[in-house]
Amino acid sequence: MSDMKIQKYLADAGFGSRRKVETELIAPGRVTVNDEIALIGQRIDPEKDVIRVDGERVNPRKKVYFVMNKPPGYVCTREDEHGRRRVYDLLPENAPMVHTVGRLDFHSEGLLIFTNDGDLTARLTSRKYKVQREYDVKLKGRVPEKIIALVRRGVRLEDGFVKPVSLKVTRVTGANIWVRIVVDEGRNRLVRRLFEHFGVMVIKLKRIRYGSLHLGRLARGRTRRLRPSEIQALRADVDFPKS
């Protein structure tokens, strides 16, 4: 592990992707090496150097991987100025420091991955690898097929054009309909915005798949460790180099 860049070391230790480490930890001066402010790209020897974040010493951790069935009404941030419940409160008490792979907004639910593997996180969330996310979505009202067709063809949002990988109506319940949509990027509130663009309200949104990982029958609010085969499948999704 000797002689490596500080951002890779911190990413491997569970502080998020290398980009996040650079912008949120190193650039603001929150990281020190041997009691001196660290620089982006600085090379370190973890066996000899003392690395701290916000004054707390950092130790390398074994890589871990969890999947959660996130309930609605929880945020994916570590701290919330409004005092709302956090997904981190649902992790096992003995869980090591981990971060989420992407996010689900406050009202959304379903599959959420946690890990301290910063390199894998960076690939899973990068647009380059087009990792698919699949959702079950309940829409308010009997949305006309012509609007479904327009979303299916693609929508130009304020941050660029988006075209779903697939979109189909799955069932009708009372005055509302359910659709299943697959997208291959993770922009903020992307699925909600696709429908809101046409004045359609999303009543419920549940992620059921991220890449090759399926939510399955994991109960709402519960968390489990990923099986080795699932970790390998996620790595294969993004052409992760074999160790």
- DSSP H or E stretch at residue 236: helix 228-237
Determine which one of 12, 105, 117, 239 is catalytic: 105
Q: How far apart are CA 188 and CA 150, in angstroms?
A: 21
- H runs (alpha helix) in 83-157: 118-125, 145-153
Burial class (CB in 10 A: 0-12, 13-18, 19+), 7: buried
What values do phi and psi take at 204, rounded to 5? Answer: -145, 140
> Is 12 an active-site residue?
no
In angstroms, the Cα distances linking 24 to 57, 63, 196 are 17, 21, 31
Active site residues: 105
